[in-house]
Structure formats: C-alpha cells, structure tokens
Amino acid sequence: MDQDQGGNSGDGWRGMHRRSVDAAGSRLRGMHARLMARPLWQRFVLVGLWGGAALLLALLLWILILIPLTPGISDLRQARAAQPTVIVGADGRELTSFEEGVHEHVPLNKISPHVIKALVATEDHRFYEHSGIDFRRTVAALVYSAGGDRQGGSTLTQQLARNMFPKEIGRSRNISRKLKEIVTAIKIESAMSKDEILEAYLNTVPFLYNAFGIEAAARTYFGKPAAKLDILESATLVGMLKGTNYYNPVSNPKRSLERRNVVLGQLMRRGEISKERFDALKKRPLRLRFERQLEKNGKDSDNHFTAYVRKWLIEWADENDYNLQRDGLVVHTTLDPELQAAAQKAVARQAETLQAIADVEWSEPSVWSSSSTSDYTDMRSYVKPFDYFWRSHGGLLDAFIRESDSYRKAVEAGEDPKDAVRRLRADRDFMASLRAAKTRLEAGFVALDPRTGEVKAWVGSRDFRRDQFDHVAQAERQPGSTFKPIVYAAALEKGLTPDHEYRDAVLDIHAGDGTVWRPTDMEGTSGRMVPMRDGLVYSKNTVTAQVMQDVGVGGIVSLAQGLGIRESKLDRVPSLALGTSPVTLLEMVNVYASIASQGQYRKPVFVRRITDRAGNVIATFGNGAPEQVMSQASAVTLIDMMRGVVNRGTGTAVRFRFGIYGDVAGKTGTTQRNADGWFILMHPQLVGGAWVGFNDNRVTMRSNYWGQGGHNAIRLVGDFFKTTLDANKLDPRAVFPGGRPPAPARPRVEVEEEPEEVFEDPGELQTEDGQPADPYQPTEPLPDPEEVQVEEIDPPVEQSPPPPAPPIQEPEATIEG
C-alpha cells in the first residue's frame, strides 16, 4: 500500500514537471510564432529591445553586487581624514612620518578661485548639476571612443574616487573598474558636499616630483602657496591633469603651453573670461620658478635610526594590511631623545677632532704624534690635509679611480680603460670629490639598555645627509680586541679561573689552511707567567691565543652567536680570537649588553608598540623571556675582569680623561694598520659602543697613538657617558653584582698626569716564509706598475709639533688590538 502510494507520488511529481516544461515550451513557441508573424523591421526592433532590457538587467544586478564590495561611508570618512603614520620617540615626540611625498592639506578657501574655475571648466563643467555621474558626457565619450577618438567621461567625483581608493577601484580600462568608480562616486556625492569634493580632489591629485595636492604643486612649480596662483599658473597646473608627464612644464614646456591655452579656451567657452582677455593671455609665456620641495619624511627629518625603523615598518605594514600613508598609525619607538642628542653631539664633536688629527698626520712625510688634540686643531689650517698620503699612494689612488661609478660608466660606454683613468685624473672636481670621500673619517655609535634590550641612541654616521651608509647595523668591520671578552667568557664557562696562568711568549699556531699564525704584542713579550685576568686587561694577544687553543674555536663561535652575533658569519679560524671576522657594531654592543645582564640575551628592541589613530594598541613588541646563554657566575666574573680594562688597562682614558668613576667595565679594540678603532662600555643601566674608521679600510689613521681604539673610539663613548651621567640620566651609584658603590668623583684637573699608556696589538697572520699578510689588499686588483704615475716625494724632513706640547715619538710599526 505504501509502495503504491510512493510510486504514485513519484509519478505525480514527474508528471507535473513534464507538464510545466511542455507549457513553457508551448509559450515560447507561441511567442516565436507571433514574432515571426510580424514584419521584418518590427522583429529587429523587438529583439533589440529585449536584448537591451536583458543587458540593463544584468548591469543592474552587477551594480547591486558591487555596492557592498566598493568603499562604504565609513571608508569615505576615513579617507577624508587620512593621516600619515608617524614614528615617535620614547617621549612621544615625532621623529618622522610616512606622508605620501610632499603634501600639505589646505582648505578650499586657501586655494585660488582661478584654480577652481579652471578645474570645473576643463574637467567637469556640469559638476554642480550632476550627482556624481554625467550621463550625457559618458554617452558622448563612448561615441567618440567608438569612432577612434578616445575620450574620458569621468566626472571630478569619479576621479576623486580613483584618487582616494586606488587599490579598491584599480586603474585597468575595463567595465568592472568603471562600474566600481560609478558606484563609489555616487556614494561620495551622498556623503560630501560639492565644496568638500573639490577640496578633497585638489588635495589628493598628484603633480610629479613627488608633489601631491595643489599646495605642493604651487610651491614646486611657482614658488608660492596655492592661494596666490594667478589665472595663467592655475591653467598650467590644471592642464597637467590630462597627463602629468606629457604636459610637464619643466620637461615639455611647449606642450604645457599649448595645454594651458586649451584650459584658457575652456574658461572663455564657459563665460569665465572674455574673448579679448583670452587672446591676450594665450600670448604670454610660461614663467616657472621650479624647485623640488624637501620631504618631511625624507632626508630632512630622517636619521639612521628612523631609516632602519622605516624599512622594518614597511614590511610589517604589508604583512598586516596597513597603509602607512593613510591609516594614521603611531609607532612608539624606544629611542630616548636626550640620549640621542648626547650621542649625536659626542659623535660630531669627537669625530671632527679625530678628522683634524688624521688630516695633519697625513699631511707631511715626517711622523710625529701628540696626546693633545689642540695641537692638531691649531695646526690643521696650516697644512694640506692628506697631502703626503696621496703623494705616497699613487697606485691606491688609481685603484680608487677604477672603482668609481664614473670610471665604470665610461668603460661601459666604450672608452679605453687607460684613457678613462687619465681623463678622470685630469678632472679636478672629480679628483677633489674622490679624495674628500676617501679621507673623510666616519663613526658609528649605539646604546642599549641591557635590562630590556631597548635601543636608546643610534648614530650611524657623522652626517646622515652626507653618508647614509649605516655604521651601526649595516657596516661589517673587524672588531679587533673587543671580541676578546667572548674568548675569555668561553674559558670561564669551561671552568678556567681568572687566575689561571699562561706564559707571555710568541707561539706559532698552524691554521687549517696551512698558514702560520704568530700573534704578537706591540710592547713585546716578557716570558713571564701571566694570569688570564691580566691577559684581558692588557689585551695580550699571546695569552688570548693560548686561551683560544684551550677552549677551541667551535666553543667561541657558539658562545658569540648566543650572546648576540646572529647575523654576521663568523670564520672558524684561530685568528677569530683576536677579532678578525667582520661583525656589525649593533651585534657587538648587543654581546656586551648580554654580558651586562648576567649572561641573558635579548634581541634589540627598537619599537615598543603601534597604536591606531584613536590610541588603541594594535601591536606590541618585546623579547619576552630572555635567553640564558651564559651562566650568571661566569658573567659576573667576566664583568669584574673587564673593570680592570678601564681601571688599569687599555681603557683608562674613560677615567682620567672623562672623569667617569662609576661601576663601569669595557674593552677597547683596534685592527691591522689602525683601520678600525672600537670601544664598548658597560654600565648597569646602559651599554654604549663606538666604531671609528674610514669607509675604505685601505685608508687608516697614521700613528699608533691615535690609531688605537683606546684613544679614538673611546673619546666618543666617554663624551657620551659623561654627558649622560652629568644629566642624571643614569644612576652614578648603580653597581653590577659583586661590585662596590663608587667613591665620590674626584674633580677633574686639566693638567692631571695621565697614567702610563697600555698599547694592544691585533696580531697578524704570517705566511710560511714569516712575512706578514698584507692588510692593504684592495677590493679590486691594483693597476699594472707601468700604468701607475707616482709623483716625486721630497725626502723626509724632521718636523716639530707646534708649541707648547712636545711630540711623543713612536716606533715605525703600527699595530694594536
């Protein structure tokens, strides 16, 4: 019974379906018959009407689908209130911003009426009549375009939609983009008044040369604000909107003039000016006062720290779908403005003094050295800086020429290499620029809080505008003896004590590649037994080499990576112990920060959090739990050993020259031929380090005295810490574990006798025949000797330093560590 009912029910449904299909087919056949019964012309008309109705219905459905997919009212409000992302310091003050090029928003009443009239007359003369879409103009544009004369049918509101939402609407010439533009334009018209639309449009349109908006354009092309643009200037700028590159008045003045006159013609046609005035105006020439505007977010406000943050932030914004030009984010960095100012002043002041020393020491064949910086600054104006260096390094000068962009471009263009060298040598301006760049002393400084890993100060060069190469996070240089604490840390971790003794003697160490490494010390060897503590305090290469042998290179590399050298590649060779493997200053200061925090590694933090325009936190950054990469006991012992460096070793200038008597510890460093000077100082609340040298390490400090990190880089660090302590930015009585509160600082006496100098030596690799490897190897082969033209050099002449300071004569060898 149920089966019969089920079967009948199934047959019933199938029957109903067949009957409905038959009925639909019958109706279609009836419609077709009636259509065919009509005259031919009526058939074409009806088919066209039905097709058009279907197309309009499809278009309507498409628009309905696009409405929720195009920017909404909230998006419009946000776009109108678009703000650039700003980067602020630890005190909340702005450091720099992410403005979209040169851009200054101005209200409509601060824009010349000539601009508004020219814009409406030329781009959208029915602007005040339509509601976002000018259907007459759209149809006309379609007709003209179909005839081969492509024209735009977009209203100002549609153009504004593209400017406000370039990603959402796109730039492709297709129906989808046009429909998105139409829908968005209608939404804009419903949310904004006509004056608001004009204001938004004129403040967002681009005008080349990274200028956005009418105010930036007016200042770029005519050197005046938008409010003071006259009718010709207004017509010129409005004329550019048809094609900024094509009608660029700077590169295409003839086209720009013709286009300007077209705009004037439109003003006449719309009744804004008379025929007589038009005839007079069109004869006038273009009068530009072109000048690129400084970007607020460019070199004018950036420094190496903000440039580093900017690069990181761009990647973060892409990953998290934020627009740095519009979303108004606030990036809260760790940079302390007071410490940053102190660092900048220390670098500028001390590097300028060291530049004077290098200029004077390389000016004459004879070599003398004084410990008084005033001797050099007084003498600088009486010498020709680096004159002797260039006269005695002709082959090196040719190498510099061959490495220059000017030489490379000349050779690529087909010029003979020898002719290119001769021509460039004869070019006084080129040679002066080359010499100045190669002999400009550079420096880097960075300071971290060892308790948090936060960056507090960052100076990447003497002048960011002049040298944007970052000597904190970008430059990799040999660290010299500043690497030695890692070697002694590995020894402590292995169970050796600071009192463990080694013989102060030169030993031959055979590297894996067959070379012989014979570490030496500038002040010679005593043959006596030296405790490991003094090996570090006096930077003894002979002792450090033996410690390295007991610990093993592998253990040193592992500990160095754990403490903070995590980007630079460390060469697993014996000379690594003396700092021959290049690293960045940021990495080395991070290593010392890990030591200062009792063996706990923290990744450097430069951004604390990011908030939106309403102040809501959208991202926070920090290290979380630190990594214990070295035992606390070993770290405390190592800090105590490094106290000795500033109390009686190679870093005593911190005490006697700058009067820093707090509980501090540190290490100096120098590399072959005085190419790099380093000093890093640890305070319980701050670790700061500096590097000093030339960008090309074939140019070096000349004398051993000023080539030492204990005499050059230490000046930057000492200057910084003295300023910081005097300003009470650090607690002068803070101590490391196991330390003692410092005695009250003694008043500094100008003629205070300096302690006996302690020199350190970077050591050297020697070949099998006992000859030292040449640290002056250039990045490219030197030219053939026959090609080198070296000027005759006068024989050395004994020269005395300027009174009153007597010279400190030094041995000819120039090595430190």
pLDDT above 90 for 651: yes
Closest of 608, 618, 682 to residue 454, by C-alpha? 608
Q: DSSP class of residue 482?
A: G
**pLDDT tens for each residue of 316-334:** 887 887 778 777 899 999 9
pLDDT above 90 for 783: no
Separation CA 161–CA 178 (nearest Å):
11
pLDDT given for residue 315 in this prediction:
86
- Using alpha carbons only, give the angle 741, 747, 751 rounded to the nearest 5 degrees: 130
Q: Are 474 and 584 contacting, i.e. CB atoms less than 8 angstroms apart?
A: yes
Q: DSSP class of residue 132?
A: S
> 33 or 592, which is more confident?
592
pLDDT above 80 for 48: no
Give mean pLDDT, residues 735-747: 73
Q: Are 596 and 639 contacting, i.e. CB atoms less than 8 angstroms apart?
A: yes
> 292 or 761, which is more confident?
292
Give mean pLDDT, residues 214-222: 93
pLDDT above 90 for 112: yes
At residue 509, φ and ψ (nearest 5 deg) are: -115, 120
**pLDDT tens for each residue of 528-570:** 999 999 999 999 999 999 999 999 999 999 999 999 999 999 9
Separation CA 244–CA 249 (nearest Å):
9
pLDDT given for residue 741 in this prediction:
74
Tokens of 471: 């000597």
Closest of 729, 756, 27, 760 to residue 343, by C-alpha? 729
pLDDT given for residue 176 in this prediction:
55
Q: Are 214 and 226 contacting, i.e. CB atoms less than 8 angstroms apart?
A: yes
Q: Which of 38-47, 632-641, 680-689 has the lowest average pLDDT?
A: 38-47
**pLDDT tens for each residue of 239-256:** 999 888 899 999 999 999
Give mean pLDDT, residues 799-804: 36
pLDDT above 90 for 652: yes
Give mean pLDDT, residues 357-370: 91
- Which residues on neighbouring strands pair with residue 692, listed in sequence order? 443, 677
Percent residues over pLDDT 90 in the chain? 58
pLDDT given for residue 203 in this prediction:
86
Q: How far is CA 710 from the centre of its chain?
A: 30
pLDDT given for residue 530 in this prediction:
96
Please return the burial class of 546, using the count of CB atoms within 10 Å of its CB with bins 0-12, 13-18 and 19+: buried
pLDDT given for residue 293 in this prediction:
75
> What is the secondary structure of 346-397 as a DSSP string?
HHHHHHHHHHHHHHHHTTSSS----S-HHHHHHHGGGS-TTHHHHHH-HHHH
Percent residues over pLDDT 70 in the chain? 75
> What is the secondary structure of 406-457 as a DSSP string?
HHHHHHHTT--HHHHHHHHHH-HHHHHHHHHHHT-EEEEEEEE-TTT-BEEE
Give mean pLDDT, residues 117-143: 78
At residue 607, φ and ψ (nearest 5 deg) are: -130, 125
Separation CA 255–CA 94 (nearest Å):
42
At residue 22, φ and ψ (nearest 5 deg) are: -65, -40
Q: What dihedral do alpha carbons 49, 53, 59, 60 form, nearest 10°?
A: 150
Q: Are 713 and 654 contacting, i.e. CB atoms less than 8 angstroms apart?
A: no
pLDDT category of residue 51 using cuts at 50, 70 and 90: low
pLDDT given for residue 44 in this prediction:
66
pLDDT given for residue 222 in this prediction:
95
Q: What dihedral do alpha carbons 450, 451, 456, 462 form, nearest 10°?
A: 0
In SS3 terms, 4-42 reads as HHHHHHHHHHHHHHHHHHHHHHHHHHHHHHHHHHCCHHH
Separation CA 674–CA 672 (nearest Å):
5
At residue 737, φ and ψ (nearest 5 deg) are: -55, 135
- Number of Cβ within 10 Å of residue 45's Cβ equals 12
pLDDT category of residue 504 using cuts at 50, 70 and 90: very high
pLDDT given for residue 779 in this prediction:
33
Q: Which stretch of DSSP H or E encloses residue 53?
A: helix 40-66
Separation CA 181–CA 132 (nearest Å):
10
pLDDT given for residue 403 in this prediction:
95
Residue 71: cis peptide before it, omega within 30 degrees of 0: no
Chain mean pLDDT for the chain: 82
Tokens of 231: 């009718």
Please return the burial class of 231, using the count of CB atoms within 10 Å of its CB with bins 0-12, 13-18 and 19+: buried
pLDDT above 80 for 791: no
pLDDT given for residue 739 in this prediction:
83
pLDDT given for residue 200 in this prediction:
86
Phi-psi region of 85 (alpha: psi -120 to 50; beta: other; left: phi over 0): beta
pLDDT above 70 for 8: no
Q: Are 217 and 211 contacting, i.e. CB atoms less than 8 angstroms apart?
A: yes
Please identify which residue in the block is written with the tokens 């087909």. Answer: 414
Give mean pLDDT, residues 132-144: 62
Closest of 603, 228, 619, 679 to residue 443, by C-alpha? 679
Give mean pLDDT, residues 626-643: 97
> 301 or 349, which is more confident?
349
Separation CA 188–CA 76 (nearest Å):
7
Tokens of 400: 């510099």
pLDDT above 60 for 784: no
Separation CA 133–CA 116 (nearest Å):
19
- Number of Cβ within 10 Å of residue 39's Cβ equals 8
**pLDDT tens for each residue of 287-315:** 999 988 765 544 456 899 999 999 899 88
State if pTM tops 0.75: no
Give mean pLDDT, residues 31-35: 65
